Structure 1
Amino acid sequence: MKYLIKNRLVKRALSLSFIGMLATATSCNVLDKKPLDAISDDAVFNDPVFLQNYVYNVYNGIKPPWAPGTGGYDALTDIAVNQPETHERSAGIRNYLEGNLTADNVSDLAATPSGPLWDFEYGFIRKANVFFENIESSTIAADKLDPMKGEVHFLRAWMYFELMRTYGGVPIIKNSFQLNAESFDVPRNTFDECAQFVLSEVDNAIGFLNGVPVNTGKISKAAALAFKARVLLYLASPLNNPNNDQAKWKAAETATKAVFDLGFTLHPEYAALFKKPLKTDETIFGKSFTPATRIPGWGYNYDFWPSGFDAQQRLVPTQNFVNMFQLTNGEYPYMPDGVTVNAASGYDPQKPEKNRDPRFYDSVIYPGAGPLNIIDGSKSTQRLYEYWEDANPNADNAPPYINPNKVDPKNGQNLFDFGRDSKTYWVKGLTPFHWRVQTGYTFKKTDDFAGPRASFDNDYNQVVVFMRLTEFYLNYAEIQMALGNEAVAREYINKVRKRSSVNMPDIKSTGVALVRDYRNERAIELHLEDSRFFDLMRWKAAPGNVDIAVRGLTKVTMDWSAAKPGDQLGKLTYTYGVIPEAEVRKPWKGDHYYLFPIPNTEIRKSNGALKQNPGY
């Protein structure tokens, strides 16, 4: 069978922004080769430039970590809540949290910016299969062809793993027949069969990439070794290892040790990991963007920017997430119930920002945070979070609610703004350009305050990190806990806490407390990195985490009566509680919810060959 690589496909390949992938000269060479509306498979699979660009197109099969909507699946967990007015996947999120997920509505949740996850991944798996079918007779020299083989083996493994952790066992397809045919009569392989296929693909990738120079942003042998270690951790986890087979944990241990031997180190600054350029001392595999290839829509800034002037603000942190950040003395601010203050910590709920884990200030924007460099349209200034959140004083606050200083001497702007007051004005319809911030907090990790809120032309400094050394330190701690080596587990958790910009006290806990400390550390370190939801699933730890009420700041007021000239803040008073407007999370539906149902459209296309996951 012959395949035509159409103009649209090649252009998409050329637009990829993995750092170091496509030099200008390479792009020009491709454009000069042949008309792009009809390039035969012979031209593509026998020309190293054409073929490399075909491979770059297959990179698009890596589901972005923000999919299915802003924040990935973090809105299904205890650390984040979606804001239904703005979140593009609110219906799917509600279906899951309310226990109404079905095989007919799952595609609203198991989704990507390009469509349902099942179709998306199998579409790119087909591209990988086309590659392998056509290179059998390729005349490209081995030194150029073998690294591309390694990349595509890795990508096919990655895409199957994405399907596995979402649905369980799926059909293993190694040929390129069209998936949109009227029937797709292929049964599911078992989860273990899929796991063995993925591991064999990764081993193939490791072999073909051995000795290939590392090109930042491209798949490397190091990325393949790290991915193998991640897969083996999933296979050893309770969801996939119900009998706690220690051999699976030992296999994960060996693979993770191999990652440590690669020579990566922790980058000194936590916040810098998510800004250009990719921090290759710690980042094993990541992606950067240009104005032409940025995150879909307006990008991270538009989705996470502190609310105002029609920024989407689609996802916000919960109080539960905020409470995960310890004080600098190593104590949690609250007891495990999330309501009772931990007296031993010295925490004051009316001074919640005082003496917190330094990662708190890099991760959460809270009332009084700042000053932040806010650039929007003609406005560009250093402002506290309150100034940005509400452009109007809230008359429902008890007076005095207006700053007697009136004007900020730095920028001439009125100083009567205040954080969560925009909720009242939104409800009253007085400020249509201000979205509500349900919990009173916003995420900071992904924001680029050096650039504007939204611009198609700005070269934002954000990057996406798919794998970094920190994850594997934490993975290794989890493995050691499973193997009964708590001292080693603490050692690796404390390595993460000793990053120079963090420098938190060592944890010394054991048993159940150690498990809490580990999972807490993982949540704050890896939030918004497509980790928390799948961690809770593989641990079978959803009850008490997924199905809890959403808590946050229910009221914040500011008293200016004691303000002195030049003060930018009055005295803040915080009230905490359950957020009534947040979605109601129903009790955990049961173990079948640890996997999503296969879409009924696929069941029907298979003429019954595909069997549905139990419980759906």
Structure 2
Amino acid sequence: MKRLYGLLVLLCFMLTACNDDFLDVDPVDRYSDAVVWTDESLITSFVNNIYEGQKWGFHTVMLSSLCDESMEVWAWESQPVVMSELSPSYQGILAPNFWIITFHNITWTNLYKNIRACNIFFENAEKYALEGDVVDKLKGEVHYLRAYFYYWLLSQWGGIPLIEKSFTPSDDLLVARNTFEETVDFIVKDLDEAASILPLNGDKARATKGAAMALKARVLLYAASDLFVSQSLWASGYEHPELIGYVGGDRTERWQRAKKAAKAVMDLGIYHLYGENGGWKNREEATQNYADIFLCHNSDEDIMVQYYDYVNHNSSDFQLPRVGLFNSPNGFHGWGGNTPTGQLVDSYEMADGSKFSWDNPQQAAYPYQNRDPRFYASIMYNGSYWRQRPDDTVGSDPEGIVQTAYYQQSDGSYTPGLDTRQGPIEDWNGSYTGYYMRKFLDPSVNHQYDKQPYPWRQIRYAEVLLNYAEACIELGEDAEARKYINMIRTRAGMPDIPDSEMGDVLKEHYRNERKIELAYEQHRYFDIRRWMIAPEVIKNVQGIDIRYPYGVTEPNYSIIDVQERKWNDKSYLLPIYLDEMQKNDLLIQNPLY
């Protein structure tokens, strides 16, 4: 008993005699704020983590499958989007808690989470009076990143709350939406600040002056587009049109700003189209050049890239981008995830620049001959060579030829090709459309087991030229627009657009050129909305049914519908999530929801 009493006395003495130093110890499981914000390497690590919030390009379900470029082979995951069934409480694959995190980084919640990290950086940079070349460059990068996250919010929801501080639980968390115009101006201001700080050259996986300027050109182009001046055409009666577009001002001036911003990137003189001089001896050379844009680690066409590997990404093995596994044909043990729609395939011109048409008997008999070289670099079709099949299937096809056709037997039955949904290898992953994506995929990689190392192009120079050309068209500067569109076509091995194409005819041709050049690169989803052509192009997905009659070497082609799709004007913008509306009664919902 005396011993216990003594211990209690000793403990009381220790507790009463201790001073502040006794309790003032650094945590052993994390760095303190003072340590982080006074160490350049830790500050850099903090910013590196913000980069993780960028939208992933390569994933199981690509943004292309939410528009008219491709069809997700599993269908049910993207069905709510392509059927215009979204609501504040039901958003399918776009929901923040959807089990596949394909779109996780561009949800309302996570975009604001990343914006908060940017604001924390700026607050601590001021608090600790951070200075020096390294810190200054990081400031420019974080201005770019904050603008990037707000760009995704703007593109999906219109005007949104602009937050420039990191909220704490004691702050008033009820914040109203800013107008569309205020949101655009805020993004542009951040990008201008970034461009004034960042170096001209550097690691293209980090923001540079050119990246900030190119993103600014994209934002201004989007903002000048039809959707954001035509609220009365699709959201009649909506009481807050200022949240979803401009309600005044000079639209011509906005197109001029977009043109000027794109031209400023061009005038830097450091970016060039990959193989820009063309002069290809044959279609194969032009095809390979376009394919190589995406099968290299770095080129003068790259403005902003995103690397995917265990060093540059912290996701689990399943979530590391396996673009080849996700998209190569099922007969090669691929998942065939984002298969080109028949509409996309038919958009590729003939090699002479004329339109492809199933109504043309010659073209309909040989639909995959004499097409735009980019067609062969982007699309796998029946009869195209891909790569040697895996060891367990090579005996069925020693040549590595894609087989999406059906072959009639002597008894009248049909044997399905190896890459059809009824094929003998992996029928559950087969294409419905009869096509597979080839763009981005390296044929030298065994995609069943191995990952390819090439980066995702966040921004490339071809987009800048197209953005410039579009602004020129809208300003009536057709000759200038043709000049830069033709630069891209020359690189692709395609003939120039005729000088006779002007006005709406040129605009239509430009839009198709943009569709082809930037296919699968996360532009089309927004293009069909900002141009307000979604009601025209969101139609039932078409595929091709190919049958070889018994004893005949030439097949019969039939166009078939393979997926129902519907458009509702509410889908021009996304609904704000119901839980966000319930948490913040100052938020105003987007129209038609």
Match of 1:585 in 2: 565
1:40 to 14, 32, 47: 32
Match of 2:368 in 1: 353
- In structure 2, relative to structure 1, the CA distance for the partners of 1:375 and 1:278 (3 Å cut) is farther
Q: Conserved in 2, the CA contact under 8 Å of 1:302 and 1:454?
A: yes
Separation of aligned partners in 2, 1:35 and 1:462: 40
CA deviations over 1:306-345 (Å, ceiling 9, x no partner):
12365321211111111111111111111xxxx533x7xx
Match of 1:603 in 2: 581
Q: Conserved in 1, the CA contact under 8 Å of 2:161 and 2:175?
A: yes
1:418 partnered with 2:426:
no
Match of 1:556 in 2: 547
How far does residue 357 in structure 1 lie from its aligned partner after superposition? Answer: 0.6
Q: Conserved in 1, the CA contact under 8 Å of 2:348 and 2:355?
A: yes
Q: Letter of the aligned partner of 2:53 in structure 1?
A: G
Q: Conserved in 2, the CA contact under 8 Å of 1:222 and 1:259?
A: yes
1:65 partnered with 2:64:
no
- In structure 2, relative to structure 1, the CA distance for the partners of 1:555 and 1:525 (3 Å cut) is same
Match of 1:306 in 2: 329
1:55 partnered with 2:47:
yes
Match of 1:397 in 2: 408
How far does residue 78 in structure 1 lie from its aligned partner after superposition? Answer: 2.2
> 5+ residue gaps in structure 2?
1-25, 231-247, 276-288
Q: Conserved in 2, the CA contact under 8 Å of 1:549 and 1:584?
A: yes
> Aligned with 2:422: secondary structure?
helix
How far does residue 402 in structure 1 lie from its aligned partner after superposition? Answer: 12
Match of 1:567 in 2: none
> Aligned with 1:385: secondary structure?
coil
1:167 to 157, 160, 166: 157
How far does residue 248 in structure 1 lie from its aligned partner after superposition? Answer: 0.2
1:224 partnered with 2:212:
yes
Separation of aligned partners in 2, 1:36 and 1:255: 49
How far does residue 384 in structure 1 lie from its aligned partner after superposition? Answer: 3.1
> Aligned with 1:81: secondary structure?
strand
Q: Conserved in 2, the CA contact under 8 Å of 1:376 and 1:453?
A: no
Identity %: 30
Q: Conserved in 1, the CA contact under 8 Å of 2:340 and 2:379?
A: yes
Match of 2:68 in 1: 78
CA deviations over 1:214-251 (Å, ceiling 9, x no partner):
22321101111111111111111111234771000011
Matches within 5 A, 1:104-115: 104-106=89-91, 108-109=93-94, 112-113=101-102, 114=104
How far does residue 142 in structure 1 lie from its aligned partner after superposition? Answer: 2.2
Match of 1:100 in 2: 85
How far does residue 140 in structure 1 lie from its aligned partner after superposition? Answer: 4.5
CA deviations over 1:242-290 (Å, ceiling 9, x no partner):
47710000111111110111221110122111123122x1111112233
Match of 1:138 in 2: 128
Q: Conserved in 1, the CA contact under 8 Å of 2:468 and 2:481?
A: yes
Q: Conserved in 1, the CA contact under 8 Å of 2:71 and 2:340?
A: yes
Q: Conserved in 2, the CA contact under 8 Å of 1:419 and 1:440?
A: no
Q: Conserved in 1, the CA contact under 8 Å of 2:469 and 2:480?
A: yes
Match of 1:187 in 2: 176
CA deviations over 1:321-379 (Å, ceiling 9, x no partner):
11111111111111xxxx533x7xxx422211211110010000000000524456896
Separation of aligned partners in 1, 2:174 and 2:297: 46
Q: Conserved in 1, the CA contact under 8 Å of 2:167 and 2:173?
A: no
Q: Conserved in 1, the CA contact under 8 Å of 2:418 and 2:425?
A: no
1:215 partnered with 2:203:
yes
TM-score of the superposed pair, with normalisation by structure 1: 0.79
Q: Conserved in 2, the CA contact under 8 Å of 1:94 and 1:583?
A: no
How far does residue 459 in structure 1 lie from its aligned partner after superposition? Answer: 5.2
> Aligned with 1:556: secondary structure?
strand
- In structure 2, relative to structure 1, the CA distance for the partners of 1:378 and 1:573 (3 Å cut) is closer
> Aligned with 1:372: secondary structure?
coil
Q: Letter of the aligned partner of 1:502 in structure 2?
A: G
CA deviations over 1:112-170 (Å, ceiling 9, x no partner):
54477011111111111110111113364421211000000000000011001101111
How far does residue 291 in structure 1 lie from its aligned partner after superposition? Answer: 4.9
Q: Conserved in 1, the CA contact under 8 Å of 2:204 and 2:303?
A: no
How far does residue 186 in structure 1 lie from its aligned partner after superposition? Answer: 1.3
Q: Letter of the aligned partner of 1:155 in structure 2?
A: L
1:383 partnered with 2:365:
no
Separation of aligned partners in 1, 2:256 and 2:557: 48
Q: Conserved in 2, the CA contact under 8 Å of 1:366 and 1:441?
A: yes
Larger Rg: 2
Separation of aligned partners in 1, 2:107 and 2:388: 37
CA deviations over 1:483-536 (Å, ceiling 9, x no partner):
01111111111111000x524343442233212211111011101110001011
Q: Letter of the aligned partner of 1:357 in structure 2?
A: D
Match of 1:266 in 2: 273
How far does residue 418 in structure 1 lie from its aligned partner after superposition? Answer: 2.6
Q: Conserved in 2, the CA contact under 8 Å of 1:239 and 1:537?
A: yes
- In structure 2, relative to structure 1, the CA distance for the partners of 1:317 and 1:433 (3 Å cut) is closer
Match of 1:277 in 2: 297
- In structure 2, relative to structure 1, the CA distance for the partners of 1:291 and 1:297 (3 Å cut) is closer
Q: Conserved in 2, the CA contact under 8 Å of 1:363 and 1:444?
A: yes
1:202 partnered with 2:194:
no
Q: Letter of the aligned partner of 2:193 in structure 1?
A: N
Matches within 5 A, 1:538-557: 538-546=530-538, 548-557=539-548
> 5+ residue gaps in structure 1?
1-33, 404-415, 563-570
